[in-house]
A = this chain, B = another copy of it.
Amino acid sequence: MKNITIKDVAKHAGVSIGTVSKVLNEKGYVGKETRKRVSEAIKTLNYQVNANARSLKAIRTKKVGMIVSYISNYYLMSIAKTIEDTLRSMGCHMLVMSHNENEQTERELLQLILEQRVEALVLIPTGANKDLVQLVIDQNIPVILVDKKVEGITTDLIVDDNYYGSYESISYLQSLGHNRIGVIYGLLKNSVGKERLEGALDAIEKLNCSSDKNLIMPGDFNEIKAYESATELLLLPNPPTAIYCCNNTMTVGLLKAINDRGLSIPDDISVITFGDVAQWELVKPPLTLMTQPLKRIGVEAAILLKNRLTMEEDYSPIQLVIKPELQIRSSCAKPAFKHS
């Protein structure tokens, strides 16, 4: 079951392979009659160009790589979708891979990217593997970092303003009168995790909230750990009157913990989270949160990508820091009076 090649088409149509190529790529001069004969040969033989051979000769591979942390993550895939649509409109396509926040895996994927001769790379990095990322850049492959930066690398970057989002979240709670605010934070080796915690901590300090260290608990960006930390928080002799949770996944754990202790939001405790998901509007009560402007990030990334793909000249890296927005719903209220 040999594959049909351009040679077969040429023979079938009685022309040279150069002519077939011209028909295929709509380049150069081909007679009307000949074009038709060739087209028909292609049809009847079910010929398909071999993209590998094509990108071997032609420099353009029409491939763009996208490496994300989690492929089943709604936030990331929303961005991916926007990018994919843009690419398709440019006749390119996308290689998607996920490293699951594993640095070794990311190494292998970057290696693959290099081998595949993609024309650009959209990377949600682990934060490590600076050497390989730099290597990709050195090969003149445009790299767009999304969501997270890699220390020591200067290239295009699109991130949420995590610090700002956290600061504002705490600030909002404080404005409602809370001054014992619990925080469940994510992995700190992750720049997102770090920035969100720092924003929260700075806000707590500057706004004169209680800076009880016991109220700041790790959630490791996972549901289980968040559940445990939340439970601990709730069992404190003098528990917080509000909890700020640094991402969606951990919020699932937090809410379960609150449920399991029979507490009610916002009467017993206020809750605010960083990150949006359709269902947070349906939880009772609907969650107040900091939304990441998903669409915006996706669109910006896509635009940037398009520019990088069409621009030949050198360019200077663009850094986009996108501010999240406070979405006020019903999970935060004034703190109840407590006789401590």
Contacts and interface: CB of A to CB of B under 8 A. Distances in A.
Interface string A109-141: 001101111000000000000000001001110
A71 B61 contact: no
A112 B93 contact: yes
10 contacts: A48-B114, A52-B55, A52-B61, A52-B117, A73-B77, A88-B97, A88-B105, A94-B95, A277-B279, A284-B284
Given A71-B84, A223-B278, 4 more contacts: A50-B56, A52-B117, A252-B282, A282-B283
A62 to B, nearest CB: 9
Contacts of A93: 95, 97, 112
Interface residues on A, range: 35 or more
Interface in A45-61: 46, 48-53, 55-56, 61
A1 B55 CA distance: 18
Copies of this protein, total: 2
Contact of A52 (B49, B52, B72): B52
Interface in A247-261: 252, 255-256, 259
A327 B116 CA distance: 44
Contact of A84 (B3, B49, B98, B277): B98
Given A71-B81, A278-B252, A88 B108 contact: yes
Nearest to A50: B117
Contact of A279 (B70, B111, B114, B279): B279
Contacts of A112: 51, 93
Interface string A261-281: 000000000000000011111
Contacts of A96: 71, 94-96
A338 to B, nearest CB: 25
A74 B278 CA distance: 12
Contacts of A140: 1
Nearest to A72: B77
A261 to B, nearest CB: 14
Nearest to A75: B72
A108 B105 CA distance: 31
A80 interface: yes
Candidate in A46, A96, A138, A284 with the most chain B CB atoms within 10 angstroms: A96
Contact of A98 (B3, B73, B81, B284): B81
A151 to B, nearest CB: 21
Contact of A72 (B74, B279, B281): B74
A78 interface: yes
Contact of A51 (B3, B105, B116): B116
Given A93-B97, A97-B94, A52 B48 contact: no
A115 B279 contact: no
Candidate in A95, A279, A283 with the most chain B CB atoms within 10 angstroms: A279
